[in-house]
Amino acid sequence: MKISCLSLYLLSTMCWLYLTPTTGNKIFQFGPCMISMNINEIRASFTAIKATIVSIAPYTISLKPADRCCVIHHLLRFYVDKVFKHCETEDSHVNRKISSIANSFLSIKKKFRQCVPFRSFQIAVIIYQIFLSIYFQLNTASAAMKSLGELDILLDWMEKAH
């Protein structure tokens, strides 16, 4: 009897330890899988390195100002022409926000056209073509939503590039 009580106690203690999150951890259930993780720590770590990653991206390291202008113009056009048109959700609030961002990008794109006699610089065109080739490997809706999810990276790069 003592052995079975001790076994039951150990088993319940192990289950309690397994199911109780440690500091900052949460239990996430994905179907039958239960995983304990600290999502905030992961997010904070990513946030800490994202700025560095954006600033050392191989395609942006040594861009001249004219090339930066050209790349940004191409990317704005890309988002207006390809991404925002295919980002539609069932949530009307989200759709309005996407539309608002699209209108802002359209306005910025028009201002770019007015301020620079636009010509494509070789390196900028190559960067844009690489970007497009990656985009077109996915289906249109998935690629658009992925690009929308990565919009913060573009905005961070634009802030650093100015």
- Of 24, 22, 161, 152, the residue nearest 79 (C-alpha): 152
In a domain, 3, yes or no: no
Judge whether 55 and 161 are in contact, CB under 8 Å.
no
The boundaries of the domain holding residue 149 are 59-161
My answer on whether 44 and 102 are in the same domain is no
| CA separation for the pair 54, 158 (Å, rounded) | 10
What is the tally of structural domains in the chain? 2
33: three-class secondary structure by DSSP: strand
My answer on whether 139 and 154 are in the same domain is yes
- Of 68, 143, 79, 147, the residue nearest 107 (C-alpha): 79
- Tracing tokens 């539309």 back to the chain, one arrives at 99
My answer on whether 49 and 69 are in the same domain is no
In a domain, 68, yes or no: yes
My answer on whether 116 and 67 are in the same domain is yes
pLDDT at 5 (0 to 100): 54
Quick one: 10 exposed, middle or buried, by C-beta within 10 A (0-12, 13-18, 19+)? exposed
User: 0.75 cut: is pTM over it?
Assistant: no
My answer on whether 49 and 70 are in the same domain is no
My answer on whether 114 and 140 are in the same domain is yes
In a domain, 106, yes or no: yes
pLDDT at 21 (0 to 100): 47
In a domain, 124, yes or no: yes
Span 49-79, pLDDT tens digits: 666 665 555 555 566 777 777 778 888 888 8
Phi, psi of 38 (to 5 degrees): -105, 90
In a domain, 5, yes or no: no
My answer on whether 118 and 40 are in the same domain is no
My answer on whether 130 and 76 are in the same domain is yes
Name the E strands within 10-147. Answer: 26-30, 33-37
My answer on whether 100 and 141 are in the same domain is yes
Q: Which residue stretches of the chain have pLDDT < 50?
A: 20-21
pLDDT at 54 (0 to 100): 58
